[in-house]
Structure 1
Amino acid sequence: MFLKRVLTILIFFFYLCSYAQDEIVANEYFKNGEFEKALSSYKRLFKDKPNNTNYLLKIVEIEQELELYKEAEQRLIKALETNKSPNLLVELGYNYQLQKDTINANKNYQKAIATLEQRPTNAYSIGRVFQNHSLLEEAIQAYTKAMQLQPSLNFNLQLARIYGEQSNIEKMFDSYLSFISANPTYLDTIKRYISEFITEDSDNEGNIILRKTLLKKIQQNPDLMWNEMLSWLFIQQKDYNKAFAQEKAIYKRQQESLDRVIELGFIAKNNKDYEMAISIFEYVVETSQEISTKLEAQLKIIELKTEIALPKDYNDIEKSYTSILEQYGKTPQTLNIQKSYAHFLAFYLEQPEEAISILKNTLKYNIPEIYLAEVKLELGDILVFQEKFNQALIYYTQIQRNLKNSPISQEARFRVAKASYYKGDFKWAESQLKILKASTSQLTANDALDLKLLISDNRAEDSTQTALKKYAKADLLAFQNKNKPAIAILNDILKAHKTEVIVPQALLKQAELFEKEHDYDSAKANYLRIIKDFKDSILLDNALYNLAELLNNTYNQPEEAKPYYETILFDHPDSIFYVEARKKFRKLRGDDIN
């Protein structure tokens, strides 16, 4: 009995395998355009399983490919005698349409749509079949009618996609917005879909239509979601002032959290719209009832003002720091402000001893080790600024010992290597950098790799490391915020070491410092020299991208920038700048966002 059962199972298993194999063969014939063979194979399969609608439709599709429309018509009519599926009515109508019989085609389409009167949910399948045959108007009719008959149904997502195919952007946006009105959790998904039809250009047709659609929604139904969407649109356009107006309107109605306003401030800052970012953080200071939020916003304002300040403005910035510390005191609550103030004193006012005194006082606070580590990192940096490298190493090493394997520990190890490099101990620096190549922090790993390559390449070429020592000195001066002396040393390298591997590195570093000093013509000349004379350098993509950015953003010469972005796309697909270069090149080329 057991043996008989096993035998039965095996026979059934082999039957299934054989049947599956036959279906694979039939499908391969179809994919390869061998329609007669495919038709014969699918007919055999359908004969064994006459209720399999997929086989029926595949046979119909093949007969249509072979222009056997009458055979397909009879097959569908016969199937409809037993199978009342409205999908078959659509298929029959499409078969008539292929024969240019639009009267019978439309007659069957309408029959299929009429079944929605009894079952509106049929629209899921009917609409999909219409779409599969590019019968977009009929699909719209089916989805729209179903929603009218049963308002709980929501086919706005399907409608939006159809309107997108028809390039009816206004109806597409309206459908997307209607969909998220009922399904707000899909807001981010819908933003992604909509983003394909808008650009950074506020005069782009898609941007104009979306703005008008949202304003209409706000008038008809003042839901804050529409304000959020409008703010998002303005952010895409980098119109942070208008986005700020929307965020203030949202906050005034909700009175819940300033998080969205703060996030906008950071977006403006990251896009270098410093004046707007300052205005946004000033609003946070004026509006927030939380001292910690006020303090963080005030700190951001000072740091942003420092970013754009000239030396004549430094006294006013220092007064801003001291004013806050007088108001709130030097306590753990103002730790970030004290740390930032110490950095400003050392690196901008060249008062490192006062800065160190402030930081050492904060080490007495009873606060978590991670916050103390941040203070020690700043202390180490200021000691490096003073060229007290051994004292700096004490603080960096403490961080590594107390917070092993953490990101800040990895960063501290990188600073150890950097300090060793600054003082000319290249062998020890290189040994530390080898360890950091496998850092869990990608940013630290990349920085470590760049510095390791700089050291190893130049140590291999020059046993005395004369040029590398000069470069390290220039690098230290740049770290100390002494850009002009750093530029002078790099100039000496370029004159005295014309054929060495360090030349493109010196050109790139000098160009970046020229940009900081607003000497854009000199920066441009350096980038062009790297591109022309050092085509095999690993820094070539840096020069290409930096030059493209300089031309595009500073010189406002997008056409001149375009070929440099393009070169990265075609010649440097592994570059870390590839993604940004592609995005900016497509925008400059005016690609159809669709």
Structure 2
Amino acid sequence: MRLLFVLCFLFSLNLFSQDDILAREYFKNGEFEKALISYKKLYSKNKGNSNYLTQLVKTHQQLEQYKAVDTLLLNYLNISNNPAIFVKLGYNYTLQNDTLKANINYKKAIDVIDTNPNFAGIIGRSFEDFSLLELAIETYEKAMSLKPDLNFNYQLARIYGEQGNIEKMFNSYINYTEINQNYINTIKREFSTFISENKENENNSILRKILLKKIQTSPDVIWNEMLSWLFIQQKEYNKAFTQEKAIYKRQLESLDRIEELANIAYAQKESEIAKDIYQFIIDNTQEIDIKINAHYNIINIETKNASKEDYKTINESYLGLFETYGKTARTLELQIAYAHFLAFYLNQTKEAISFLKNSLNLGVSDYRLAKIKLELGDILVLEEKFNEALIYYTQIQRSLKNSTVSQEARFRVAKTSYYKGDFKWAESQLKILKASTSQLTANDALDLKLLIGDNKNEDSLQIALKHYAKADLLAFQNKKDDAIKLLNTILEDHKTEPIVAQALLKQAQLFEEKKQFEKAKTNYERLIKDFKEGILEDDAIFALAEMYANTLAQPEKAKALYESIIFEHADSIYFVDSRKKYRALRGDAIN
């Protein structure tokens, strides 16, 4: 008997859901007469279902059967205490151009709040559904005044945003955050829709003033955190640092937030402020690993920005750090960086190799051992001891199969073979790397594979490609002037070959590194003009745009170039970055 009952119940439930789907399809397809029959049937069997009531009302209204809706809703009020029905009824009168009855019902809905403010949520949502935003605002504000522990600031903020009332929107979101601090990241996402990277943007100024006022009137560090976030969006890292210091001094807890800010500034090439932040970390932490990491980042910044006159000081800094912290597994990253400095900056390759070989005996994990061997291989390539370098790279591949560092080692094998002029072996390694899980390695591998593939068959001796590979090696060896001269040879002696475009691009990049921006600009412009539709055109456009934006202080020219990538090179790998940078220059909101 019980089984029979269950089967009957499931059968009726299945029929019910089929009727529901059919009704929705009729409505969606504009077959309102058929939808009306279906919804009447569904509603008659389940009069407590407000969804069927809503759909039945909408269907009648589509057929302009407004009197039927009046009757339906008034009858429903007899069996339900849902005050949102007054809003639906009011809106139905609005459709009949009966403003008086509409307003009477809207007032009835709002008056319910006097006796039960908790109904404000469904009443307010109903007003929002019909775009009656002022009435929704009145509803939420009245409820909060009658019952202060209610918080409809999120709903109010959303409405103010729709109305374009930015200041009230910001204030409402902040008032909401004050009570619901767990939502701070959600609120930041909402804010990012309205602010831009331009600190002069009006919305940015409004938010900044609101937050500064909050900091003055309320002691909560959440406002410092939010102001710091705003300054980071505006790339004002020094001001963000001020706020982060204020937070840290009041809480004296983790330095994670300050370390994250330092890393952001470093990544954005804001070297001086990044150094200041890392130094603050060194001065305020007792954790040795955090201190060492901060020192490591400072010395990297100093090395990248150094002239030859600074090398002696940097060398002494490294030696001082080893004296303080030792040459142990703890300072391994520093040791690798020092070996790189010795080889690539001081040209002391023998000393660098000897130093790193000592690091191999520290008893570290295979992964960290691989990092040492990668650097050893690179230094041996610098010395053009290619076969020895290949031994280290191959050891990494064998010990850490299918790992990211193994893929990086395979790419170094391909690059070393390419430097040697063994293009066939290089290509065989690059084919494997096309499916690399590391996107950066996969992209680099694809670029090198295209370079070799496009140019190896131009002549049987592959003279131009060998010259280019040699120039590439010279650039790796930090012999930029020699590389530029050799690239000139390609440009003069191989004018009709496809490698000319690649030579122009490489030479332009070297000119930029030497801060010879006019020469770089000339190369990029020639690439864009003479190699239109070539695979490197978007590289040249983006590089030139970046130079105009970040170095030559000509934002309008940069904007035009970013725009050309957006509209003429939609499949470019630079498309997303170009769109973001174009919008930032135009002053659009961040999102």
Instruction: Compute the TM-score of the two structures, normalised by the length of structure 1.
Output: 0.93
Q: How do 1:87-102 residues align onto structure 2 when only pairs under 5 Å count?
A: 87-102=84-99
**2:580 matched to which residue of 1?**
583
Structure 2 residue corresponding to 1:354, chosen from 351, 356, 361: 351
CA 1:142/1:439 → structure 2, altered by over 3 Å: closer, same or farther? same
Unaligned residue ranges in structure 2 (runs of 5+): none
**Pairing 1:296–2:278 present:** no
Query: How far apart, CA to CA, are the structure 1 residues paired with 2:574 and 2:66?
Result: 55
- What aligned pairs does 1:550-565 form with structure 2 within 5 A after superposition? 550-565=547-562
Following superposition of structure 1 onto structure 2, how do residues 12-27 of structure 1 map, counting pairs within 5 Å? 12=12, 15-16=15-16, 19-20=19-20, 22-27=22-27
- Structure 1 position 175 matched with structure 2 position 172: yes
Aligned to 2:195: 198
User: Counterpart amino acid of 2:520?
Assistant: A
Matched residues in 2 for 1:584 and 1:189: separation? 24
**Distance change in 2, residues 1:21/1:423 (3 Å):** closer
- SS of the residue aligned with 1:129? helix
Query: 2:460 is matched with which residue?
Result: 463
Alpha-carbon spacing, 1:464–1:227, altered in 2? closer, same or farther (3 Å): same
Q: Secondary structure at the match of 1:460?
A: coil
Cα gap change, 1:216 to 1:102, in 2 (>3 Å): farther
CA contact (8 A) 2:32 2:63 kept: yes
Judge conservation of contact 1:26–1:42 (CA < 8 Å) in 2.
Answer: no
* Counterpart-to-counterpart distance in 2, 1:370 and 1:585: 40
Instruction: Call closer, same or farther: CA 1:184–1:502 in 2, change over 3 Å.
Output: same
Whose relative contact order is higher, 1 or 2, with alpha carbons under 8 Å and at least 6 apart? 2
- The percentage of counterpart residues that share the same residue type is 59
Give the Cα separation in 2 of the matches to 1:66 and 1:355. 85
Q: For 1:184, give the aligned amino acid.
A: Q
- Counterpart check, 1:133 vs 2:130: yes
Equivalent-residue separation in structure 1 for 2:11 and 2:343 (angstroms): 85
**Cα gap change, 1:22 to 1:366, in 2 (>3 Å):** closer
Residue equivalent to 2:423: 426
- 1:514-543 Cα shifts (integer Å, max 9, x gaps): 110111111111111121111232222111
Q: 2:461 matched to 1:491?
A: no
What is the CA deviation profile of residues 364-393 of structure 1, one whole-angstrom value per residue up to 9, with x for unaligned ones? 112222222111111110110000111111
Residue 52 (structure 1) shift: 4.3
Separation (CA, whole Å) in 2 of partners of 1:405 and 1:14: 51
Q: What is the root-mean-square deviation of aligned Cα atoms in Å?
A: 2.4
Assess, with a 3 A threshold, how the Cα gap between structure 1 residues 84 and 3 changes in structure 2: closer, same or farther. closer
1:423-473 deviation per Cα after TM superposition (whole angstroms, max 9, x unaligned): 111111111111111112111111111111111111133322111100100
Mapped pair 1:547 → 2:544: yes
**Whole-Å Cα distance in 2 between the matches of residues 501 and 256 of structure 1?**
58
What residue is the counterpart of 1:273 in the other structure? Answer: 270
* 1:151-190 alignment, distance < 5 Å: 151-190=148-187
C-alpha displacement of 1:92? 1.4
2:433–2:441 CA contact under 8 A, matched in 1: yes
How far residue 68 of structure 1 moved from its aligned partner, in angstroms, is: 4.6
In structure 1, distance between residues paired with 2:4 and 2:247: 75
**Does the aligned pair in 2 maintain the 1:430–1:452 contact within 8 Å?**
yes
Distance, in Å, in 1 between the alignment partners of 2:424 and 2:50 is 74
1:587 CA drift (Å): 2.3
Q: Distance in 1 between matches of 2:344 and 2:590?
A: 45
The SS at the match of 1:58 is helix
**Cα displacement string for residues 43-74 of structure 1 (whole angstroms, at most 9, x for unaligned residues):** 55545655543343334334445555444334
Q: How far has the Cα of 1:315 moved from its partner?
A: 2.0
1:195-234 → structure 2 map (5 Å cutoff):
195-234=192-231
CA contact 1:164–1:172 (8 Å) conserved in 2: yes
Q: 1:435 to 1:117 in 2, by over 3 A?
A: same
2:304 to 280, 291, 307: 307
SS of the equivalent of 2:457 reads helix
Counterpart position of 2:473: 476
CA displacement, residues 165-214 of structure 1 (integer Å, 9 cap, x when unaligned): 11121221122222233322222222111111111111111111111111
Q: Which residue of 2 aligns with 1:105?
A: 102
Are 1:160 and 1:171, in contact at CA under 8 Å, matched by a contact in 2? Answer: yes
Task: Note the C-alpha offset of 1:25.
Answer: 4.3
C-alpha contact (below 8 Å) 2:196/2:587 kept by paired residues: no
Q: Deviations over 1:275-301 (max 9, x none)?
A: 111111121222222222222212211
Instruction: Give the secondary structure class of the aligned counterpart of 2:240.
Output: helix
The AA in structure 1 aligned to 2:362 is: Y
Query: Deviations along 1:278-337, whole A, 9 cap, x unmatched?
Result: 111121222222222222212211110111122222222222222222333333332222
Number of equivalences? 591
Please state how far the C-alpha of 1:4 moved relative to its aligned partner: 8.5
Task: Quote how far apart the aligned CAs of 1:415 are.
Answer: 0.7
Cα 1:435–1:314 shift into 2, 3 Å: same
The alignment status of 1:519 with 2:516, answered yes or no, reads yes
TM-score (normalised: structure 2): 0.94
Q: Secondary structure at the residue paired with 1:588?
A: helix
CA distance in 1, matches of 2:309, 2:3: 98
- Of the structure 1 ranges 69-78 and 368-377, higher mean CA displacement relative to structure 2 is found in 69-78
- Whether contact under 8 Å (1:383, 1:389) holds in the other structure is yes
Give the match's secondary structure for 1:569.
Answer: helix
Per the alignment, do residues 501 and 114 of structure 1 end up closer, same or farther by CA in structure 2, a change over 3 Å counting?
Answer: same
Aligned to 2:369: 372
Secondary structure in 1 matching 2:138 = helix
Partner of residue 79 from structure 2, selected from 74, 82, 90: 82
Q: How does 1:323-362 map to 2 (within 5 A)?
A: 323-362=320-359
Q: What amino acid maps onto 1:138 in structure 2? A: L
Q: Hey, what's the Cα distance between the residues in 2 that align with 1:97 and 1:3?
A: 52
8 A Cα contact 2:127 2:133, kept in partner: yes
For residue 238 of structure 1, report the CA deviation from its aligned partner. Answer: 0.5
Equivalent residue letter for 1:27: F
